[in-house]
Chain A
Amino acid sequence: MNEIAIRAENLSKAYHLTHQVGQVRYKTLREDLLALPRRLGSIARGPASSIETFWALKDVSFDIHEGTVVGIIGRNGAGKSTLLKILSRITEPTRGRAEIYGRVGSLLEVGTGFHAELTGRENIFLSGAVSGMTRAEVQRKFDEIVAFAEVERFLDTPAKHYSSGMYVRLAFAVAAHLEPEILIIDEVLAVGDAQFQKKCLGKIGEVAKTGRTVLFVSHNMAAVQNLCESGIVLDTGRIVFAGPIEPAIRFYLEEKTAAPREAELRDRRDRTGTQTLRFTEVRILGTDGNELATVLSGQDIVVRFYYESQQELNNANVNIAFNLYNPQGVVITNLNSKDVGRLRLPIAKSGWFECVWPKFSLRAGIYTCALFCEVNGEIVDWLQSAFQIRVEEGDFFGTGSIIQRGQGEILVTYDWRSSGEHPVA
């Protein structure tokens, strides 16, 4: 057996949630000073009820051997990202310890360390330096990085003019060429085109073949299954399964893990974008305006996205999009406002956008959706697994016949007819 690369012992991380109104996440001095007497008092009385301790990770222990590719699987809020953040030393554990043997390179979010005003070339150096590479190292790898990212022509263009695909490519290229002994990757492949995803997966596989250790988080079960030898399934901060990858994925898919926390969208912290507009709630409605827990195939539905915005915009360029993923993490389809020509949707301080979806055309199953909103070309809010659509068999064709299960995911409108004619030879 190879030597140990990572040994975690009882890693735990607690967050203190204060229940207060509003989105203010930072404190002001005045609040703290005012709260001081209460805090002193609470030492005698026990913790105040308004502060809740939430264990994002609880007593997680494991050994990972050198040269293995490990998939970390779990639903949102299971603690995957927290675990990766602790292992890459971005945040400290509240309890427990982890021993790490070797240099760690992590890619926790696309475009980390990139600055929109700087050119591609400048960003490569910045991003490399942030990850602990020296200038000389970046210089040595420069051509390789550029070639991998396929951005030669745009090297001296400010990154703000890059497409999101170019952004990801460049970010991944820098991280992959870091030559870390341990590579930590969190759900970065959700963006970028299929071809590049394939290239990235290939690169990760290559990295693993050279004896390096890879920790990989993805909702794309097909990718996890292809890449990883073993898997760790997390559920509400604990390890519920650890072992070879096949049984791990089966364990996860068979819903032995808890249903996703009914956490309000507004409280989710694992989101990206400028947050000048935030989605607060998603509701799936029938044509009568009642909320639906389950959608039936063929039903006319409306998906309503409630939001809060920092400012009112009457003539902004808006693009709202959501992706539907099947349980294997493969995109089924994407519904966005741009493609249907709704280029300008007025934005209020708070309100909703609605996607009208007549004759729901997916078969029974649970579809997880990523939600995305862009205002004037800038990503304002972006959530993976923002909500789910549960679908049961319905009368899609209006014939009253029951649609067979296990025959794919989509339904299309079609008809049949017959004729007595026969082609003459």
Chain B
Amino acid sequence: MSQLETEPTATQAQTHLPRQTRRPTVVVQPTHGLATLNLRELWAFRDLLIILAGRDVKLRYKQTALGVIWVVLQPLVAALTFAVIFGGFAKLPSDGSPYVLFVFCGMLPWNLFAGALQRAGNSLIGNSNLISKVYFPRVIIPIASAASVLIDFAVSLIVLFVLMLIYQVMPTWQLVALPFFLLLTLLAATGVSLWLSGLNVYYRDFSYALPFLVQVWLYASPVAYATTIVPEQWRALFSLNPAVAFIEGFRWAILGQSALTIEMIVSATLVSLMFFASGLYVFRRIERGFADVL
């Protein structure tokens, strides 16, 4: 078609280097040692990330009768259950807030974190047809899967504000800190997801270990209980779990009161960064073999 002839400049502009230097656009060769993350390339594929995340959301609720109601129902029922068992029967303290609100606040970042882990963990295997047939930066797949959970998070956030209205709890100025704790949650989730998704390609054991891991992690995190019931001498160890900081952080930002300390934030940030950096490194090291294994 004539289109092809009239627009050669448009395609030339998309190659990374100007034509006259005659440097290869791409050099294909075995990679050795520390593979660096090509950020520019990642940016060029940003639309893929959005489309893949959108696809994940669409597919998840495609043939469900209740659709988005599931997103509302799941955390709500879980929060009520926890409130009845832990707050009602076991009479655990909730740092002065209504127990349902207290649990829901913890559930919000936790579901984002756990959902991202579960989605991303199996994402590479689910997209094996793409990986073995087309080239694109592989990190996009687990990141897009993790990002798709943000939609559920947004819906849950609205539910939370409705709950706050019902319980007549007013947010304070501390609410401005919420984006920070959201970022912290995402950082931790992406870091762990990179580890899990990459290794899962080689060792399918991780598919089986994943639900178990998420469950154990849930009990090790103050979702249904308050950090204050953890004995003082164990707090430092407890705080190594980054979920402690983002859950208590959410409570602090939304309810205005929680057991959050500066130490928690610092250790969670460090641990999350460590997960993220090492996860990215490991992922880059092993991604070159994905197409041969999948």
Known: A27-B204, A118-B59. 8 other contacts (CB 8 A): A92-B28, A93-B30, A95-B30, A101-B24, A122-B55, A126-B52, A129-B52, A144-B1
By a CB distance below 8 angstroms, the chain B residues around A94 are 30
Does A134 contact B47, Cβ atoms closer than 8 Å? yes
- Whether the Cβ atoms of B30 and A206 lie closer than 8 Å is no
A100 near B130: Cβ-Cβ < 8 Å: no
With a CB–CB cut-off of 8 A, which chain B residues contact A144? 1, 3
* CB–CB A93/B28 < 8 A: yes
Interface string of A99-120 (1 = CB under 8 A from B): 1111110101100110101100
- Chain B residues bordering chain A, tally (CB within 8 A): 49
- Is A99 a contact of B24 with CB atoms below 8 Å? yes
User: Are A101 and B28 in touch, CB under 8 angstroms?
Assistant: no
Hey, what's the 0/1 contact readout for B61-100 against A, CB within 8 Å counting as 1? 0100000000000000000000000000000000000000
Question: Does A245 count as interface, using CB distance less than 8 angstroms?
Answer: no
Q: Are B58 and A118 in contact (CB under 8 A)?
A: yes
CB pair A130–B28 under 8 Å, yes or no, is no
- Interface contact B22-A101, CB-CB below 8 Å: yes
Q: Is the CB of A126 within 8 A of B205?
A: no
* A interface residues (Cβ-Cβ under 8 A, vs B): 3, 11, 15, 25-30, 32, 85-104, 106, 108-109, 112-113, 115, 117-118, 122, 125-126, 129-135, 144, 179-181, 206-207, 210-211
Q: How many angstroms between the C-alpha atoms of A131 and B190 in the bound complex?
A: 24
Quick one: given A28-B205, A29-B205, are A129 and B30 in contact (CB under 8 Å)? no
Contact A29 B203 (CB under 8 A): yes
Please report the C-alpha to C-alpha distance between residue A179 and residue B9 in the assembled complex, in whole angstroms: 11
A122 vs B29: C-alpha distance when bound (angstroms):
34
Taking Cβ atoms with an 8 Å cutoff, the residues of B that contact A are 1, 3-5, 7-8, 10-12, 14-15, 22, 24-31, 44-45, 47-48, 50-52, 55, 58-59, 62, 129-136, 201-205, 288-289, 291-293
Residues of A within 8 A of B44 (CB): 132, 134
- For the complex of A and B, the 6 pairs showing the least CB-CB separation, nearest first, are A97-B29, A99-B24, A89-B135, A129-B48, A112-B133, A98-B28
Q: What is the bound-complex CA distance between A91 and B132, given in angstroms?
A: 8
Least CB distance, A274 to chain B, in whole angstroms: 11
CB <8 Å contact, A101 and B55? no
Interface CB pairs A-B, < 8 A, 16 = A27-B204, A29-B203, A89-B28, A92-B288, A93-B30, A98-B29, A99-B28, A101-B24, A108-B133, A112-B134, A113-B133, A126-B55, A130-B136, A179-B10, A181-B11, A181-B15
Q: Which of B5, B27, B135 contacts A90 (CB 8 A)?
A: B135
Contact partner of B1 among A91, A132, A206, CB < 8 A?
A: A206
| B30 surroundings in chain A (CB, below 8 A) | 92-95
**Could you tell me the distance in whole angstroms from the C-beta of B242 to the nearest C-beta in chain A?**
25
Tell me, rounded to whole Å, the shortest Cβ–Cβ distance linking A60 to chain B: 12
With contact pairs A94-B30, A117-B62, A210-B5 given, residues A27 and B203 touching in the complex (Cβ less than 8 Å): yes
Contact between A130 and B134 (Cβ–Cβ < 8 Å)?
yes
A115 touches B4 (CB 8 A): no
How many Å lie between the Cα of A26 and that of B27 in the bound state? 29
Task: Name the residue on A nearest B51 (C-beta).
Answer: A129
**Neighbour of B15 across the interface among A99, A103, A112, CB < 8 A:** A103
**Cα distance, A157 to B59, chains bound together (Å):** 14
In the bound complex, residues from chain A placing their C-beta under 8 Å from that of B31 are 92
Complex Cα distance, B136 from A85, in Å, reads 13
Q: Is the beta-carbon distance between A132 and B204 smaller than 8 angstroms?
A: no
Most chain B beta-carbon contacts within 10 A, residue among A15, A101, A180: A101
CB neighbours (8 Å) of B202 from chain A are 26-27
Query: In the complex the two chains form, is B27's CB within 8 Å of A3's CB?
Result: no
Q: Which residue of A lies closest to B29 (CB)?
A: A97
Give the complex CA separation of A25 and B201 in angstroms. Answer: 11
- Verify B4–A32 contact, CB threshold 8 A: no
**Bound: A106/B59 CA distance, A:** 26
Contact B136 A103 (CB under 8 A): no
Whether B205 and A206, one on each chain, are in contact in the complex, defined by CB atoms closer than 8 angstroms, is no
Nearest A residue (CB) for B200: A26
- Chain B residues whose C-beta falls within 8 Å of the C-beta of A211 in the assembled complex: 8
C-alpha gap A96/B27 in the complex (Å)? 11
Return B167 CB to nearest CB of chain A, in Å.
40
In the bound complex, CA of A121 to CA of B275 (Å): 38
CB contacts (< 8 Å) of B52 on chain A: these are 126, 129
Which residues of chain B are within 8 angstroms of A134 by Cβ–Cβ distance? 44, 47
Chain B residues near A125 (CB-CB < 8 A): 51
